[in-house]
Structures are given as C-alpha cells and as structure tokens.
Structure 1
Amino acid sequence: MSTAQAQREHVETILHSLDHPDGGEDAVIERSWRRCIDRYGLDPTAPSPPRYVPDRTLREHQDQADALIQVARAGVEQLYRQVTPLDYVVLLTDARGIAVQFLGASSAQYEHQRTGLYLGADWSEEHAGTCAVGTCIQERVPLTCHHSDHFSAHHIRLTCTAAPVFDPDGQLLAVLDISAYRSPESKASQTFALQVVKHYARMIEDAYFLQRYSGYHIVCLDRSREFVQINRRYLIAIEEDGTLLAANTAGRKLLRHHDLPLAGPGEARPFRAWNIQDLLDAEINEVLDIQRYSDDGVRAFRTHRHRELHFATLLEPKRRRAPSGQPRPGDSSLAPLEALADDDPAMRDTLTRAARLRNEPINLLVVGETGTGKERMARALHDSSRRRDQPFVAINCAAMPESLIESELFGYEPGSFTGANSKGMKGLIAQADGGTLFLDEIGDMPLQLQTRLLRVLAEQEVLPIGASRPVKVDLRVVAATHRDLRTLIDAGRFREDLFYRLNGASLRLPPLRERADQGYLIRRLFEDLQAERGESQSRLRGDAMSALLAYPWPGNIRELHNALRYALATCEGDEVVVGDLPEECISSHLAHPAARPAETPDGPIAGHSAVARPQDPLHEALRRHRWNISAVARELGLSRPTIYRRMKRLGITPPHQQDAL
C-alpha cells in the first residue's frame, strides 16, 4: 500500500469512528480524535510536520524541569539500555509536552529529528494531535498510540507508549515515552512496552518523591513483609507528630480507599488535615520507633477503616553524619574527612578506618588510581588529627629530579657541595617535624634513597648532607601510590622492609567511575571552583550533570576538576550546560540541550538553524557558514574554544590565513 493510500484510509477511519464511536479500549483514542477536531480545529488531511520550540524556550522548559531531569537521569538511561536493542528512542517531556530529555542512537539522528522524536519537540495534543505524550497529558493514564491511532497521518508509521509521572501533590509533572519507527502491525505487540514504561515512570516518580521529602520521616507500606523494603509501594511523608505531608500516587489511592480524601482535583481536604494515626491503628511513637522494636526493620499494622494488614518500614530524615562507627557524630575534627565523600559504601569503609587511625602513631599507605584524590586524603588525615596545627609537607617522588632529591629531602650543611647555598638548607623531612610528611608516588622513589628513608623512619632522625650529627624529627608519614608495590618488590625495584614500614595500615580509594556519590563530588567541586573564582552565580544545569554522571572518568577526580574548571571558563551567562563541557565528557548517545534539529529535505525546520549530522565533517560546517566560528559553534552546540581546538587537531586553516602563508 502506498503512503498516500494509507493516509487516505487513515482519514476515513478517523471520520467514521467519530460518527460511529465504538468505545471500549479505544475510547481514549476516540476522545482524543474528537478533541483534535472540536477543540483544536486540526485537520487530519493536512500535513503536520513536527513542531520544535525555539532554543531559548527549550532552555526555559529544561530549567523548570531541572530537578526532575537530575532525578530521572538514571531511570531514563536504564530504560534506554533495555529498549535500544528494539530500536526505540526515549523521551522525557514536561507537563506541557515539550521533550526536555532525549536518548536515541546517534546514527539515526536525522530520522529522529525528521519525525519529531528529538529534544525540543512539542508533543502536546494541541499541536501534534492524538499521540502517546499529548493524549497521556490530557487523559492522565498510561497508553500506547500505535500506528493509525495517531491523528496526524504524518505519524502513522510510529508506535509510541507513554506513562504519566506525578509530583507528590498529585499534579502532572512529566511524561515518559518510548517510540519506534518500525513495529509489528498488531497493537498487542506493545503490551510489554506499556508495562516497562509504567514501571520506570513509577520509579522516577518515587525517586523524585524521596528526594523532595528526604528531610522528613517517610513511612513505606506494603501488603507483603518480604517486599516492603524493596518494593516500597506506598510512600507517605509525615512530620514528627505524624501529620501527613504528601504521598506518592499509590499512597494517595490508599488514603482515599480508607476515607482520607486529600486536596487536589476532585479531592476534599488538605494533607495536613490528617495524621498517620487516622490511617493506621497505631500511636505515633510506634511508627517512629519501627527500627528500634523490630529486628528486620519492619512492623505490622492494621488500618482503621478496613482492618487491612499492612507492613511498614521507616525512612528517617537524611542528615549528614560522621562515618559509621565513629564516636561523637558531631565531632568537628572529622569534618575534613567527612567532606571527601557522601554515601559511597567503599569510601564509607575507608573513611571509617581513616577516622580511627588519624591520631595513631603509625604510618599510612594510600592506594588508588591516578587522580582519585590521594593527596586530598592525606591532607584530610592531617587536618583532622592532633597534628593539624603543625606543618603538612607534600613531596612528589616521581616529579623531583633524581639529582636533587637527596638534598631536597634531607637538606645539607653550608659548603657541602659545589653550588650549595652558603647558609645550608633545611630538608623537607626536617620541615615536616611535628606534622605530616606526605610522600606521593612512593613507588617511583630511587632504590638508594629508599634505604636512607628507611633509616629515617626506623630511627626518627635525619642526617643532612655534610652533617656529622643526625637531627631528631617527629614524623607521621602518609605515602601514596597508584602502583602495585608488591609487584615492584618481586621485581627488585622496591624494598620490602620499607614497604612494611610505610604500610602500618592501608587506605584504598575507589576510582570515580565506581563511586555511588558522583553527584555529590561534582556539586562540591563545582562550588569549590566557584569560590576560588570569587563567583557564586553560576549553576550546573541538569543536562550537564547528566553528561558528567554518564562519563567514565579515566582520569578520576583530577579529570573532573579540570572539566569543571574548563566549563566555568567557557560558559556564557550564569549556567553551565552540556555544550560547555569538554567534548570528551559528552556521552555519545545523550543529545545536547544546545543542539539544534537538523534540516528536513526541504530545508531547516522553521525557527531553527541546521545541525551537522554525525557524518558531516567540521570543515563542511565551516565552509557552509563562510568560516564564521560563532555560527558553527551555535550550530553544533559547542563552545568557540572547542571549535578552535578541533580545527587545530584536524589541521583546518581558514582561507584568509592560508593566503598569508
């Protein structure tokens, strides 16, 4: 069947259904068709190419949805990994139907943009007609809009499945959608897609709820004891006295079922008119003390109204705590260590051990990949110890010239050798007397100096070059390395006895890619860099945060630090967006918020500049814009410095410079 014939039959189907409605499972689609004609005045026979909002408007929509985008990122990316083998794309739209987040194969970018399955597309029913997103917004229910369910003949090749995401007040917050260009003819083929999208929409909704009310007690309920801590079906946020603050969608249904109607569309009373004791047959102290009186953190309660049995667990308000197992959680001396991590399990274990050892008279060995923050750990150990008011001396054993390392470390007496300072020099080891000596990259220390360092550690005294009498020193040594010292020992390149002197205890730092608290580190470093620059206005937008969280960080925290410094230096205005990041940090499958929809076969989409498709070279974009760097940067969604850097790497020279050569 030709495209024209399929479109004619589609129009006839719509007109016939409006005259002879069937109802049943297609009632939602038929109601949408009726709205398209009666309310919006749309014509199913008229071509309706995708509509994109202007770039400035898109940024405004993204800014308003910023908190949601950050929370939803993990769920959207996890959903995309599940459906991408089936050639689906994933869209997250706001409550007005504007796509504020998009994931799809970069190789099909042109097709995404041509059909409207792309960032900045307007999928509201008013503009796109009957479609999964727009109709979901109107009906507030999950649905599939399959092939000829779409009002516009432009979309009848698509299959789209969407589910609503509600905020804690029951208002529509967003719509999660997966769409594909090719699928079986039967709508039943999308049954599994509908279940998957509903599942992830609920996950995103609950994650948003948990973050928004993280400072309050959250009662989690389920009909099964075994699943309440995993499933957390019903979430209800409460004050200390049990006053209800909010509930997730399932929680609101539970409250209505037990005759506790809430404020909202068609609902009677505000949350604060009710107490958790109006739902559960329990005193407030029984609810708040669930963890204390239950071995598994779960307690059974019956409801007042229907005497239904529910199992409850409690999420307590999230507060910053000292590493677990430490005395006096409010001890301010632990602050330098606490600042190194948030809730990463491996870092929690490391920091717990570090806090216990910070005042012990033993040397420590910090192990981790390059850039994981070994010097930060050493400095935090020093600043949280009783030695904090004494010197902290850092030595990079790999960077110091071998000809100078002995004199730099141990110092020398006046006239000890040709070129020596006439007054002599106090060595770095002696300068650390009473404080902490940090030996970075200890695995690169020459063997002959390892012998002298061993003597210093064993005898706690140092003999300057040319001196006849050693000088006593009080040292706490923290050494660090990214190498496997035992392998170096086996190869005869590191002294085994020195290893045991240094390794009184070891602290291992995980690579950044494995840490669960990446978001905390990004925000903390971003704030630190702003303070360093004397700024406090810039913000890190959700799309940039998503790209940073998706990047594997082979250079670890050091690379993150450099990337954020670059972004702050090159961003325009008071926010960092994904296009401001170094190009290697931008995930290949995550579309730039600054990227523009590509050209259609008839030219650029109205209101947008064209974007180079993945196969188009930079040189072609430069030629097309007559070597206007700013225009090319806008087209590609990159900063001007990035364009210049790519030109230099590719050896591209503007024509006027070529003429001058």
Structure 2
Amino acid sequence: MAVITVEHSSVALCTSEVASLDNGPKKIPFRRNITVSLCAAQRHHIDTLLCLGKTLQGATINQRDIIMRSWQRCLHEYQLDPSKPRPVRVVPQHILRTHQESVDELLHVGRAGVDRLYAQIASFGYVLLLTDHAGITVKFRGDKEDQHALRRAGLYLGADWNERYAGTCAVGTCLHEAIPLTCHQREHFDASHISLTGSSAPIMDPQGNIIAVLNISSLNSPRTLQSQAFALPLVIHCARMIEDAYFLHHYRNQLILRYDSSREFVHLNGRGLIAIDEGGNIIAANSFGRELIKAHQRYRPSLTSQTFPRATQLFDAKVVDLLSIPSNSDDDICAFRVRSDNSIVFINLIEPRRNHLRPRPTPAEPARPAPPLERLAGDDPAMNRIKKLAHRLRNESVNILISGDTGSGKTALAQAFHSISERAHHPFVTMNCASIPESLIERKLFGYHPGSIPNGQAEGEQGLIQQADGGTLFLNDVSDIPLHLQSRLLRVINAGELLPPGTGTKMDIRIIATTHRSIQQLVDNGLFRKDFYYRLNGAEFRLPPLRARADKHYVIRRVFEELMEQQPHRQVLHLRADAMSALLAYSWPGNIRQLKNALSFAIASADSKEITVQDLPHECLSPVHAKNDAPCLITEQTTHASLPDEQAEQLHALLRQSQWNISQAAKQLGVSRPTIYRRMQRYGLVAPNRQG
C-alpha cells in the first residue's frame, strides 16, 4: 500500500482507501477538523487531486496535458485545497457594472453573434457566458426555468470564473492558456463543478491581448469527452466572428485589407484582417492576420521586431497596388502572392468612413437635411424596396394602401410620399377613421351646405375631401370606415367628383390609406367592399415590424436625434452602448411608436450626459438587463436568486434607513436616482410625506 503525501495539505490518503469508497454520502475528516459531506464522485475526485504531488507513487492519473498543468497551478501556485470545495463567487452589482463598462464596445458589437450562438445551443440545454479578461461573467443567456440551478452552479451573470479562485475550468484555464479548450466534468479542479461541461474560446483585441472569453456550458452532459466534439468548434467560430466584428468596428476609420485563400469567401467571410495606413504600414491585425505576420517573421528573422512590418513585406505588391484594388477589379478583389510561402491570397480593400473628414458647411451654406423618404430607413432591404417603389410612383395617378403593424411608421411613410410628389405644395389632409364617431364620418368627409344640418354652422362646413383638392387625402385606419360610407367614397374615387347636397364639384385628390388589419380578410367576411378595396389598392406598401428590420440601429439613432432636436434647450445627451444593446435586443411589440415613448422616457429620466440601460423603461429590458436593474442582493457568498418580495423589502429598509433620501439610497446601491424611482413604483413604495 503506497501512501502519497501532498505538500499543500496535511492529509495522507492511500490508493486502496480511494478504491474502497462506496456510493453513499460520507463525512470525511480534513485538516483543522472540518467535516465536509460529499457524494462518492466528489470524494473520488478530491482523492485523485490529493494524489497529485510532485511525484506520483503507485498512482496513475490519465489527464490531458493542459488540464494537468492547470491542476498543478491550482495546487502549487494558487494553493487551492481540493478538500474544500469553494462557494460560487458572484460579484456585487456595482462591481459587475464596472466590468461590463470595461468591455462596453465589445458587448455592443458582439450582441448579434451572442444571440446567434445561443439560438443554436439553447435547445440542447446549454447556457452562454461572456466574461471579461478577469473571468467575470458580463453577459449571460440561459433558460429562465433553470435559473436557480444555474445560479448554484455559477453559470450566471456576475460569476467569477478566474482560475485563481474557481480552479481548473473552461473559462479560467482558457484565460491562462490563451487557447480554446473544453473542460469536461472531472477535469474541473473544484469537486463542486464535476457535473459541469464547458467549452471556451478567447476573444482577442487587435494587439493580440485577451479581452473576453466566450463560453457555452451544460449542467448535465454525457460522460465521454467525445460528446462535446461539436461544442468547441462552434464556440471558436463564433468567437472569431465577434473578434472580427470588433476589429472592423474599432478600425472603421482606417484602410483594412481583408483576405482569404478563396476568392469566393473574401467578401462573405474573409479570414484575415489587416489595418494599414496610406503608406502601407500595418497598424493592427486580427488573429489570422497575426499568424501571417508571425510566418513572415520566421521567413525573415532579420526583420523580426516588436513593431509590425509593412504590408508590402507580407505580400508581393507595391503600396499603390494595394490601394488600387477597387479600381483594378470588377469584384473589388485582387490576387497577391504571400512572400513567406509563395501561396496566393485574394485581397479586398475596405476603405474608411470619411464622414469625420468632410468639411463642415459654412453658415452661408447650411447642411441640407436628408429628404423625408430617405430618413425613414437605413439599409433594410424591405424598406429600400419600399423607397424605390415610392420614388417611381410618386407622381403617378394611383391610390396607395400602406399596411403594417400598429406603430410601424405608416403615417410617416404617407407624409414622406406626399412630400416627394408634385402635390407637395398642396394640402395633406388627414382623417383618423378610428377616432371619429361613425355618426360624424360622413359630415367630416363631405361637409354640408348652410342650413342643411340642424344645429350646424350657419355658413356650412367644408369637408375633408374638398380641403384636400389638389393634394392628398390621408385615410388613417381605413378599415374602420362603415360599409355605407365606403360606397360614397367609392363614387368619389370613380368619378373624381364631390357630391354633397347640391351641384357636383370636380375634385383632384390622391388617396393614401393605411391599415393594421388584413383588409382581404375583412372582404372575405363581408365587412369591407371588394370594389372599394381594389380602388384603394392601386399599389400596396407592406411595412415590416421594427423587430424584423435590419436597420434597427439606424432607426433608434434617428428617433433619438429627432427627439433631442425637439428639446433644443436640454443638455446634449448620447446613448451609451449598453442602452443601445438593450434597445436592439428588445422585440418592440409597439414598434416605432413604442420606441419613441421609451426614448422620451429615457431622455426625461436621465440624470447625466449619457443614457444608460438603467434609464430605460423596465418593460423594454430583456430578462438579463432587467436583472441588472434589480437591487443588488447578491454578495460573494450568495448563490440563490432573491425573490421580488425580498428585493422590495430590502429597498424599503434602505429607504427607511436613509430617511427616504433618494440620492443617498441611489448612491449606496450604485444606481441612478430615476432607477430608484422606477423600483419604488414597481414595488408600490411611497415616501411617508407623499402618502394620503
């Protein structure tokens, strides 16, 4: 029987005793008379680690080299005791916010990649973590039904997965080794983590330093490591996508060489990215680009230095050849030879945005605002088709039907359509069909002559149709017009005449109608005249909901700027990246109208020069952002979620303690004053001097 003594612990266990452990929980005495109750698997794992000393006498431990190195660090460098599993550490809210702000730009740029990866893994029971360079979880995606179990396991927002504290794990060991890896079940150092499986990949900044780690983890997975064969390549691919998106965003004002060994993939997913100046000097490169630079340094050892080489030293080309790529090829791609190995790569030149270099207009030549139709959308394909069709039809004698969800911008499109047509200098007359009582619709549309209406105006009243002569009659929510009035409107459209009591008057109007309902379904149900529908529908524009638009970022920016322009005396505010990320992640059931309300609320409630996620209405926050806005109840030793009642009780106690001083309470919780007011409203808390 061989006895192995391990330096960091006074415990001496024999290998035969390890084999004799049964499957029931036992109390094993450790040094300082501390007793820990563990299951058999955890006890066996602890004993295996205790057998890991500088030499192994009579024991065989078969582990991958990378895991073995980490175990050695945990034992000898970090002095972690495997006999004492450590509680999950979750940093307080104000500390978490600091870590999130340190990767603010990355969180904003990487949001789409994180969402896409989670959509691929959620059905398999995985959760997604994004940590900063210190191993603190700054973004989390997981099933809400499992949140209590996930919190207990440390798979949650704010959890500390640094190897110095958590031991060998996917995130911490990935950070230390700077390579992608999977840490599967008993490869974890801490016995409380041996049911977990995680796969992580580092995300590098353009200088090659780790700024974040992307991780997917599972509470329960098959025993074999081979079961995770799909997970690591998936995480690596997504991490590279986020890293490249961050690179392109960070160097958007620089020339960038994007290259690949296949011409077909350069525009779609070129692997190499190298930022250069106009002299051909390399400023930065992504991971793939840095590998090419390392190959060059091996190829020309005498040129090796701490600075990057010139692009012309990597590729067999002159600077003018690289800068002339857009004009020398129909597809903006040219082939060049790599000097280090004579291979061929295909390069595309991404030119910088020049907006910041354009001279500002002089006072005598003020900048012209973009046409109303152009301001409606950025680069959304569906909206671009609508804009092109609107331009073609702007002066045609066809009526327009605009359909779309409530708040999707139908009125704005109608006004923009009128403004670009020859009728722009004539009236744009609006009738909100849903808000006018049915008994008044006919009078509003057609007006009346003097004395024809009891209790009417003595001089009579001009109808909306007559007011719109030469211009546009805008029928908002046209599906709410009663059937009998549809007949009269149809006659006006057919004959181009206004026929109130008396002689007819020739009219020249274009009708633009909107609806958020399916008029075809109303026609099928006998609630809308088919002939009236076809007369209105000379051309139909179907507006996509905000959640489906590719230009949400543009729409949010435009609406925010328009709201700020309406308040010229207010201090200049800007949207911080965490607020923009939350706005982009929200589904917006109320579309652009709801977005305007949310941004108006944020502008009114912001107490600094920037709008953060804390200033947004609570209903606009995703579950993760909403958790960020909750009171800080998690300490380093707390692993369970606090209930809303407990949150309200703690906030109430804090307010009483501060004598209902909102500023003091906000300072103690590390949030803004508007956040405290929102929480008070949410929990029904009212200051004593406001009751009654």
Query: Same fold, TM exceeding 0.5?
Result: yes
Query: 555, 577, 594: which one pairs with 1:521?
Result: 555
Change (3 A) 1:451 1:628: farther
- For residue 199 of structure 1, report the CA deviation from its aligned partner: 1.5
Alignment of 1:236-385 (within 5 A): 236-239=274-277, 242-259=280-297, 268-271=305-308, 274-275=310-311, 277-284=312-319, 286-287=321-322, 290=325, 294=329, 298-317=333-352, 335-385=371-421
- For residue 143 of structure 1, report the CA deviation from its aligned partner: 1.8
Contact 2:88 2:638 in 1 (8 A): no
Alignment of 1:128-143 (within 5 A): 128-143=166-181
Question: Normalised by the size of structure 1, how large is the TM-score?
Answer: 0.81
- For residue 635 of structure 1, report the CA deviation from its aligned partner: 13
Paired positions, count:
627
- 2:138 aligns to what? 100
Alignment of 1:446-465 (within 5 A): 446-458=482-494, 462=498, 465=500
- For residue 308 of structure 1, report the CA deviation from its aligned partner: 0.9
- 1:324 aligns to what? none
- For residue 521 of structure 1, report the CA deviation from its aligned partner: 2.0
Question: Normalised by the size of structure 2, how large is the TM-score?
Answer: 0.78
Partners in 2 of 1:532 and 1:609 — Cα distance? 47
1:586-639 residue CA offsets vs partner (Å, 9 max, x unmatched): 4457772234687xxxxx6448797435xxxx5676578779899999899996
Contact 1:164 1:201 in 2 (8 A): yes
- For residue 443 of structure 1, report the CA deviation from its aligned partner: 2.5
Which amino acid in the other structure matches residue 444 of structure 1? Answer: D
Moved more, 50-59 or 371-380: 50-59
- For residue 350 of structure 1, report the CA deviation from its aligned partner: 1.0
User: Alignment RMSD, CA only?
Assistant: 4.2
Partners in 1 of 2:253 and 2:191 — Cα distance? 49
1:209-244 residue CA offsets vs partner (Å, 9 max, x unmatched): 223334444332222234333331112234456543
Query: 142, 145, 166: which one pairs with 2:204?
Result: 166
Query: 424, 430, 433: which one pairs with 1:394?
Result: 430
Contact 2:88 2:636 in 1 (8 A): no
2:93 pairs with 1:80:
no
- 1:556 aligns to what? 591
Contact 2:129 2:155 in 1 (8 A): yes
2:149 pairs with 1:111:
yes
The 3-state SS of whatever aligns with 1:161 is strand
Contact 1:578 1:592 in 2 (8 A): no
- 2:662 aligns to what? none
Partners in 1 of 2:583 and 2:91 — Cα distance? 26
- For residue 123 of structure 1, report the CA deviation from its aligned partner: 1.9
The 3-state SS of whatever aligns with 2:457 is coil
- 1:504 aligns to what? 538
Change (3 A) 1:437 1:260: farther
- 2:267 aligns to what? 229
Contact 1:596 1:609 in 2 (8 A): no
1:256-278 residue CA offsets vs partner (Å, 9 max, x unmatched): 3234999xxx973545x623x33
Partners in 1 of 2:548 and 2:71 — Cα distance? 49
Contact 1:597 1:610 in 2 (8 A): no
Partners in 1 of 2:385 and 2:298 — Cα distance? 44
Contact 1:366 1:509 in 2 (8 A): yes
Change (3 A) 1:366 1:445: same
Change (3 A) 1:40 1:581: same
Change (3 A) 1:41 1:572: farther
The 3-state SS of whatever aligns with 2:342 is coil
Q: Which has the greater radius of gyration? A: 2
Query: 212, 229, 251: which one pairs with 1:213?
Result: 251
Change (3 A) 1:36 1:491: closer
1:421-459 residue CA offsets vs partner (Å, 9 max, x unmatched): 234333333433444332212232233433443454455
Partners in 2 of 1:480 and 1:122 — Cα distance? 53
Partners in 1 of 2:297 and 2:455 — Cα distance? 91
Change (3 A) 1:269 1:23: farther
Contact 1:261 1:269 in 2 (8 A): no
Partners in 1 of 2:429 and 2:638 — Cα distance? 56
- For residue 118 of structure 1, report the CA deviation from its aligned partner: 1.2
Alignment of 1:490-501 (within 5 A): 493-501=527-535
Change (3 A) 1:619 1:452: same
Change (3 A) 1:178 1:431: same
Change (3 A) 1:314 1:476: farther
- For residue 166 of structure 1, report the CA deviation from its aligned partner: 0.8
1:287-309 residue CA offsets vs partner (Å, 9 max, x unmatched): 45556655555443222343211
- 1:431 aligns to what? 467
- For residue 368 of structure 1, report the CA deviation from its aligned partner: 1.8
Change (3 A) 1:292 1:593: same
Change (3 A) 1:156 1:500: closer
Change (3 A) 1:577 1:88: farther
The 3-state SS of whatever aligns with 2:336 is strand
Partners in 1 of 2:384 and 2:656 — Cα distance? 46
Contact 2:553 2:584 in 1 (8 A): yes
Partners in 2 of 1:261 and 1:358 — Cα distance? 63
Structure 1 unaligned segments of length 5 or more: list them.
Answer: 321-330, 599-603
- For residue 375 of structure 1, report the CA deviation from its aligned partner: 0.3
Moved more, 154-163 or 1-10: 1-10
Structure 2 unaligned segments of length 5 or more: list them.
Answer: 1-22, 26-37, 356-366, 658-664
- For residue 101 of structure 1, report the CA deviation from its aligned partner: 0.3
1:527-555 residue CA offsets vs partner (Å, 9 max, x unmatched): 43344456555554555544443443333
Moved more, 120-129 or 151-160: 151-160
Which amino acid in the other structure matches residue 305 of structure 2? Answer: A
Change (3 A) 1:466 1:175: same
1:453-496 residue CA offsets vs partner (Å, 9 max, x unmatched): 34544555545x556463x6553432222334444445554445
Partners in 1 of 2:612 and 2:326 — Cα distance? 42
- For residue 92 of structure 1, report the CA deviation from its aligned partner: 0.3
The 3-state SS of whatever aligns with 1:96 is coil
Change (3 A) 1:561 1:630: farther
1:335-379 residue CA offsets vs partner (Å, 9 max, x unmatched): 322221112111111112123333445432222222221001112
Contact 2:615 2:675 in 1 (8 A): yes
Which amino acid in the other structure matches residue 54 of structure 2? Answer: D
Partners in 2 of 1:261 and 1:453 — Cα distance? 81
Contact 1:299 1:313 in 2 (8 A): yes
Alignment of 1:458-473 (within 5 A): 458=494, 462=498, 465=500, 468=503, 470=505
- For residue 49 of structure 1, report the CA deviation from its aligned partner: 1.4
Partners in 1 of 2:497 and 2:488 — Cα distance? 11
- For residue 571 of structure 1, report the CA deviation from its aligned partner: 6.2
2:518 pairs with 1:481:
no
Contact 2:89 2:638 in 1 (8 A): no
- 2:360 aligns to what? none
- For residue 569 of structure 1, report the CA deviation from its aligned partner: 5.1
Moved more, 526-535 or 226-235: 526-535
Contact 1:596 1:635 in 2 (8 A): no
Query: 43, 48, 51: which one pairs with 2:89?
Result: 51
Change (3 A) 1:630 1:435: farther
Partners in 1 of 2:340 and 2:554 — Cα distance? 43
